């Protein structure tokens, strides 16, 4: 269940996306925790990178119980999402790295939010952080290519954070094994220094792509 809601504070009124936990459908390959918790966990990792890939996301109570609440972003409706996914935008390359870190199993074109200023947000991260390799994405443009300096610097920072405050925050939403596997994925990226290629053991592309 996905609902468009409104946030009211003393200083601001804003639209948001609200996904109550009560409306989630159980998934056989994500049996632990909640999809809402995985959305929040992905935002926490995104925030730690400083890249602002994921819009602000929190876990809050609402009219249908606790759920994920994410700030609504008004994307540019004139952008063709498949063309965007095939482009070489720096924002997408950052997103591709983040998707490896969180093990995103469903990066579709419809999960890209291109903004009028050129920034691109990513949304819908309920099927991330599996303990098994499940990367499934349209963003394979950089597969097999060396990570750029920006990505390496970010991963070094993230590696430290995952053993500190970030790791502790993720443990509120993920299992200990899922957090450990996240550390391992970061360490692997730093060791290999390249964007991974499809493994052949799991469908490389999401379906449908949009």
Domain range summary for the chain, segments of one domain joined by +: 3-192
The tokens for 192 are 């290999």
Q: Give the percent of the chain with pLDDT over 70.
A: 100
Please state, as a whole number, how many other Cβ atoms lie within 10 Å of the Cβ of residue 182.
Answer: 24
> Can you tell me the distance from the alpha carbon of 36 to that of 38, in angstroms, rounded to the nearest whole number?
5
Q: Quick one: average pLDDT of 76-94?
A: 94
Taking residues 162-171, report their average pLDDT: 98
Residue 91 is given by DSSP the state H
Is residue 199 pLDDT above 90, yes or no?
Answer: no
In this prediction, residue 194 carries a pLDDT of: 98
* Dihedral sign for Cα atoms in the order 80, 121, 162, 131: negative
The pLDDT of residue 133 is 94
Instruction: Check residue 56 and give its pLDDT.
Output: 97
Mean pLDDT within 82-109: 96
pLDDT higher than 90, residue 6: no
8 φ, ψ (degrees, to nearest 5): -120, 120
Say whether pLDDT at 9 is over 80: no
- Tens digits of per-residue pLDDT, 96-145? 999 999 999 999 999 999 999 999 999 999 999 999 999 999 999 999 99
- The more confident residue out of 147 and 201 is 147
Average pLDDT, the chain: 94
| CB distance 107 to 97 below 8 Å | no
User: Which residues in 105-143 are b (16+ Cβ under 10 Å) and which e?
Assistant: bbbbbebbbbeeeebbbbbbbbbbbbbeebbbbbbbebe
Give the whole-angstrom CA distance, residue 131 versus residue 71: 28
């Amino acid at each position: 269940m996905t609902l468009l809601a409104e946030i009211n504070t003393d200083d601001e009124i804003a639209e948001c996306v609200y996904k109550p936990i009560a409306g989630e459908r159980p998934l056989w390959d994500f049996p632990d925790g909640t999809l809402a918790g995985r959305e929040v966990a992905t935002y926490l990792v995104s925030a730690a990178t400083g890249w602002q890939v994921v819009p602000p996301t929190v876990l809050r109570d609402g009219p249908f119980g606790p759920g994920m609440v994410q700030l609504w972003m008004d994307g540019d409706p004139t952008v063709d999402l498949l063309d965007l996914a095939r482009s070489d935008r720096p924002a997408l390359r950052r997103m591709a790295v983040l998707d490896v870190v969180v093990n995103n199993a469903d990066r579709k074109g419809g999960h890209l939010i291109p903004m009028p200023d050129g920034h691109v947000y990513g949304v819908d991260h309920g099927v991330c952080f599996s303990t098994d390799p499940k990367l499934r994405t349209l963003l394979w443009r950089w597969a097999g290519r060396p990570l750029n300096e920006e990505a390496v610097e970010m991963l070094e920072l993230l590696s430290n954070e995952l053993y500190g405050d970030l790791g502790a925050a993720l443990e509120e939403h993920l299992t200990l094994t899922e957090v450990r596997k996240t550390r391992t994925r970061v360490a692997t990226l730093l060791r290999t220094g390249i964007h991974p290629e499809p493994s052949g053991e799991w469908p490389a592309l999401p379906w449908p792509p949009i």
